[in-house]
Amino acid sequence: MLETATMITADAGRTAAVVLTSTIKLDTRAGHLQKATLRATAHGVYEARIGGQPVSKALLTPGWTSYEWRLQVQEVDVIDLVQDGVDLEVLLGNGWYRGDLGFENANANYGEEIGFIGELELTYSDGSSQKIVTDDSWGAHASDTPENSLYNGQKIDARLRGAGAALEVRCLDFDRSTLISQVGPPVVRQESLRPQRIWTSPAGRVLVDFGQNLVGWLRFRVQGPAGSEITIRHAEVLEHEELGTRPLRGAKATDTFVLSGELDSFEPTLTFHGFRYAEITGWPGTPGIEDLEAVVVHSQMRRTGWFQCSNELVNKLVSNSIWSQKGNFLDVPTDCPQRDERLGWTGDLAAYASTATFQFETADFLHKWLLDLAEETRHGKYGVPHVVPDVLKYANFPDEHAEREELFAGPKTIWGDAAVWVPEALWNAYGDRQRLAEHYPGMVLHLESVLPRLSATGVWDQGFQFGDWLDPDAAPDEPWKAKADPGVVATSCLYRSARVAAETAELLGKTSDAERWHELAQRTRAAFNDAYVDGSGRIVSDCPTVYTLAICFALLPEDLLEPAGDRLAELVRNAGYRISTGFAGTPFINRALTETGHIEEAYRLLLETGNPSWLYPVSMGATTIWERWDSMLEDGTINPGEMTSFNHYALGAVVDWLYTYVAGLRPAEPGYSRLLLQPVPGPGLDYAKATLDTPHGTAECGWSRDGEHHVTVETLVPEGILADVILPDGTTHTIASGRHSFEVTMVPTA
């Protein structure tokens, strides 16, 4: 792959993007051109054009992988673009490779020199072939982008177009063993939104509202005096009627455009921003709604899941989950897309993976990320890193954060469990045994990193844990200080991961491994009950998360399941149905209530609108899932915590319960080769329905209420498969493909 090409670069300054060029000269003696293929990749990000036309719709290529071991090569058919004498041009920017990534001025990078490597292979009708490869014969010149940064934004100077100074091309040392074929889907433009409103703030600034928190950039055409500048700042919210930029922390999120004096077109494709609002200065006159559009950008994913119910706030919650997934699935599943972070935090995805696989077709996207996770874990010293790709290992944190190494050293529950829980979600959604086998080594690496951390009693209570991160009762500046005992959380999650690893080993025919992980699971379960559970079913720290995990992960003896469910329901009632869980408990609490018969509590928890709750942000106008339950306070001010954003998907994991329990659409076998349709109607909704494009076709399950006790269940089963139906009255049916309807009379509860 790219055997004869050389990685090349040109220096126009650390912040600038450069253009690398070569002229295509066809071999006219070899007959007609029958095939033209461009193969390319970069340290940095690149955009290739032939004859001035983009070679593909992909953006920010080659994306972000663990560059030390895996660098994706893109292969594009360019037969329609190649002509004799036209230029092959490559715009090369910093991207993630030289992006000054991280937070708290970490300035983490993979290297100080960006570079491009590629080949254009031409095949002719006489059977001969020709290759144009990168080497020091290429030309280079300064681009119209003197500044480009994912965090800070891009500066484009239209006066430099076609007039950039010539630069010297240099060859770079490069490890070819890192080259791999493209695995993940490309990042592409998805849609564009026009402003909903343009106005002048009390401070005299021009503000634009696009009506939706999104990820991408602004695109526009404008004409004004040569040399004049337009500056656009981006933010997710307003505070005190001005742009709310404090949550961005160190990220400037600002694009600057220098006008040529002619009609200029601008689109800053070497950066991205998370924003709903923009502040514009320097525009000639006043921009109108027709002058601007926000371009929505994320990895190519096909929408597969839908939910609809009688409560519009709940429908908006689902929409917010969809938009947060779109915004944070930009080549890497990130925590947030707007501030100085945008990292592939493993804990966020561990909480959300099941939801993600229902909403979009994510098989390739998450497969790519899991391969990076395994490489990072294999080469690291602490188990699964907290972020994947792990650029933080190159961070230069300030001296006052020197204790970070000691604090974060070692595996972390939930964050490390992503190595197991994400493959489990993919297996359930798609049933791909080959890919499960590729993900299994990462499971093993995680579990083996945990074993030395167990205490003599067999529980995982050693070392710092993020735990039930962002428990609403934790202080804003100490989000790890949750009510749930960190040892209870860690030991619960270890049991689940050991059990999943054992089941995976059995599926893959790894008998000795299966025995090993089954033994670990049973040993952990016994240790959990000995250390943390009393004879009445009370669990240490006695808060919703510990009961939730014990119930959903099947840790308790059968005779203690009912008392644990009753205590969980009691705690939910005592809290006034306000949410009281963080990353660990939130994805599972409604399921735990439902499976222990506390359906009313589960529904009331969902439908609560006071702070904190899932619907509080919706009632405050949120269009994505917030990082904190109260990222914005009721008085319209931003949460005082140093860490807050308005586009974090993790706490939106509750919508998985909407799909799988409220509407009742679940896989009975991996990949939905058999369905389990078990809707659970509850108080506060009159109807609910989920639709899923499974690997076998479209499936549906839903219900509607007619009066207090009469419910109609409607289902759709794809061709060629069976479904097990469990109706709300407890009766069961096995049905084949097609539409089916059931009338149910609900028995009133005492």
Q: What is the pLDDT of residue 410?
A: 86
Average pLDDT for the chain: 96
- The letter for the amino acid at 369 is W
666 Cβ contact list (under 8 Å, min separation 6): 660, 675, 676, 677, 678
513 Cβ contact list (under 8 Å, min separation 6): 444, 501, 502, 505
- The letter for the amino acid at 125 is S
- Helices (H), strands (E): how many in the chain? 14, 35
Query: Do the beta carbons of residue 114 and residue 92 sit within 8 Å?
Result: yes
The DSSP 8-state label assigned to residue 383 in this structure reads S
- The letter for the amino acid at 188 is V
pLDDT per position as a tens digit, 257-293: 999 999 999 999 999 999 999 999 999 999 999 999 9
Q: Catalytic site residues?
A: 341, 627
- Residue 75 scores a pLDDT above 80: yes
The rounded distance, in Å, linking the Cα atoms of 651 and 716 is 30
Q: What is the pLDDT of residue 615?
A: 98
State the Rg of the chain over Cα: 27
Q: How far is CA 196 from CA 40, 193, 253, in A?
A: 40, 9, 21
pTM exceeding 0.85: yes
Residue 652: name the closest of 321, 413, 185 by CA: 321
pLDDT per position as a tens digit, 417-459: 999 999 999 999 999 999 999 999 999 999 999 999 999 999 9
Task: Kindly state the average pLDDT of the residues 711-717.
Answer: 98
Band of residue 403 on the pLDDT scale cut at 50, 70, 90: low
Residue 587: name the closest of 646, 535, 508, 656 by CA: 656
Q: What is the pLDDT of residue 597?
A: 97
Q: What is the pLDDT of residue 399?
A: 64
Q: What is the pLDDT of residue 407?
A: 63
C-alpha triplet 62, 255, 242: angle, nearest 5°: 130
Q: H or E stretch including 517?
A: helix 511-532
Task: Kindly state the average pLDDT of the residues 408-413.
Answer: 87
- Residue 401 scores a pLDDT above 90: no
Q: What is the pLDDT of residue 163?
A: 86
- List the structure tokens of 97: 């490779």
- Residue 405 scores a pLDDT above 90: no
Number of Cβ within a 10 Å radius of residue 318: 22
Task: Kindly state the average pLDDT of the residues 177-181.
Answer: 98
Q: What is the dihedral of CA 430, 623, 587, 467, to 10 degrees?
A: 120
Residue 230 β-bridge partners? 257
C-alpha triplet 496, 500, 501: angle, nearest 5°: 115
- Residue 750 scores a pLDDT above 50: no
pLDDT per position as a tens digit, 666-684: 999 999 999 999 999 999 9
pLDDT per position as a tens digit, 198-209: 999 999 999 999
Q: How far is CA 90 from the centre of its chain?
A: 28
Q: What is the pLDDT of residue 409?
A: 77
Percent of the chain with pLDDT over 90: 94
Query: Do the beta carbons of residue 419 and residue 377 sit within 8 Å?
Result: yes
The full length of the chain comes to: 750
Band of residue 749 on the pLDDT scale cut at 50, 70, 90: low
Q: What is the pLDDT of residue 476?
A: 85
Query: Do the beta carbons of residue 9 and residue 67 sit within 8 Å?
Result: no
The DSSP 8-state label assigned to residue 659 in this structure reads I
pLDDT per position as a tens digit, 556-575: 999 999 999 999 999 999 99
Using DSSP, state whether 590 is helix, strand or coil.
Answer: helix
- List the structure tokens of 103: 């937070």
The rounded distance, in Å, linking the Cα atoms of 668 and 586 is 24
The rounded distance, in Å, linking the Cα atoms of 326 and 307 is 17
Instruction: Using the structure block, give the residue that is written with the tokens 């593909």.
Output: 56
- Residue 93 scores a pLDDT above 50: yes
Residue 133 β-bridge partners? 119
Instruction: Using the structure block, give the residue that is written with the tokens 């992960």.
Output: 553
The rounded distance, in Å, linking the Cα atoms of 372 and 65 is 6
Q: How far is CA 122 from CA 79, 125, 138, 286, 734, in A?
A: 9, 10, 18, 50, 57
pLDDT per position as a tens digit, 296-309: 999 999 999 999 99
- Residue 146 scores a pLDDT above 70: yes
Q: What is the pLDDT of residue 400?
A: 55
Q: What is the pLDDT of residue 1?
A: 87
